[in-house]
């Protein structure tokens, strides 16, 4: 599976986003584990719905964060999605 602009990622059913009430940080919780997210990763994770492509997510984030270079945002999205894939936290399309 090639992770690039047209790829449409979706969080696996075993993973869910949850706000940690103690730290105020968003986490991806999955069996026996959790992954604390920074603000950028949270913004990306919230868009992993199986409808938006990586390019679409990058475009939305670039609009939301005016002045941020879209190409850099897409690289960040690809890197984060690649990390999630390596951890088994994405559904196969």
- Report if residue 36 sits inside a domain: yes
Nearest to 29 by CA among 13, 43, 11, 16: 16
Tens digit of each residue's pLDDT (9 = 90 or more) over 15-37: 999 999 999 999 999 999 999 99
Question: In total, how many domains does the chain have?
Answer: 1
> Mean pLDDT over residues 31-44, rounded?
96
- Report if residue 1 sits inside a domain: no
Q: Which long-range contacts (CB under 8 A, 24 or more apart) does 60-67 make?
A: none
Domain that residue 46 falls in? 16-86
Please say if the pLDDT value at position 93 is more than 80. no
Query: Domain of 43: which CATH number?
Result: 1.10.10.1150
- Report if residue 93 sits inside a domain: no
Q: What is the pLDDT of residue 1?
A: 66
Task: Report percent pLDDT > 90 for the chain.
Answer: 90
- Report if residue 4 sits inside a domain: no
């Amino acid at each position: 599976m090639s992770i690039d602009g047209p790829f449409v990622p979706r969080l696996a059913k075993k993973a869910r986003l949850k706000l940690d009430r103690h730290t105020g940080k968003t986490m991806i919780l999955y069996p026996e584990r959790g992954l604390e997210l920074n603000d950028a990763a949270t913004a990306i994770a919230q868009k992993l719905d199986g409808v938006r492509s990586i390019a679409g997510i990058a475009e939305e984030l670039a609009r939301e964060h005016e002045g941020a270079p879209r190409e850099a945002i897409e690289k960040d999205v690809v890197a984060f999605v690649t990390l999630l894939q390596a951890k088994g936290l994405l559904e196969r399309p």
